[in-house]
Amino acid sequence: MNIVLIGYRGTGKTSVGEALSRRLGRSFYDTDAYIEEKLGRSISDAVAAKGWAFFRAMEKEAIAEIAAFQHSVIATGGGAVMDKDNVDRLRENSSFVLLTADINTIIERIQRDDRSSGQRPALLNDDIRRETETLLKHRMPVYKQVADFCVDTTNLTIDEVVERIMRRYRGRE
């Protein structure tokens, strides 16, 4: 069984995924990094050159490949589970963990993280708070529907989040 981390950007999917995979001795795949490696350029550059539809098609292809792996930890892009095909593909051999955080924490993390702000372009031509509020309102119901388990990362360290996930899945291999 794979453990798939879902949620909005800035909730800790990559950081938690890396730490969780080390603790479990599993491979770690970040779908955004996987796409960037395949394309040989950042997501920002790819979206600027070819548009969001191209990126979403690449994301679907990457998820189809990654979903076939076993006993892995997978961090998805924030919009990946908005596509039912992606969810169905991952659901075949995965459990979904939703990582959340309050909006102020999300914005602070996005602004602090060069990887998040530099590689992932805005989806809407809006300021970061308004964009985050709009996208969370749209995505959160889907995130909650897909998730098997949820961890609010707002006031937790990476190790505390990892420990909560491990307690949930201990013995469920």
Distance, C-alpha 108 to centroid of its chain:
17
User: What gap in Å lies between CA 167 and CA 63, rounded to an integer?
Assistant: 26
Segment 137-164 shows an average pLDDT of 98
pLDDT at position 134 is 94
Phi-psi category of residue 51: left, alpha or beta, with phi > 0 → left and psi -120 to 50 → alpha: left
The pLDDT tens digits for 79-116 are 999 999 999 999 999 999 999 999 999 999 998 876 65
Count the Cβ atoms, other than its own, within 10 Å of residue 92. Answer: 9
User: What gap in Å lies between CA 38 and CA 1, rounded to an integer?
Assistant: 25
pTM over the 0.85 mark = yes
Helices (H), ranges, 51-127: 52-67, 84-91, 103-112, 114-119
Is the pLDDT assigned to residue 173 strictly greater than 70?
A: no
> What residue ranges do the domains of the chain occupy?
2-165
Pairing verdict, β 27-30 and 2-6? unpaired
Distance, C-alpha 6 to centroid of its chain:
4
Phi-psi category of residue 104: left, alpha or beta, with phi > 0 → left and psi -120 to 50 → alpha: alpha
Query: Which CATH code of 1.20.1250.20, 2.60.40.60, 3.40.250.10, 3.40.50.300 fits the domain covering 2-165?
Result: 3.40.50.300
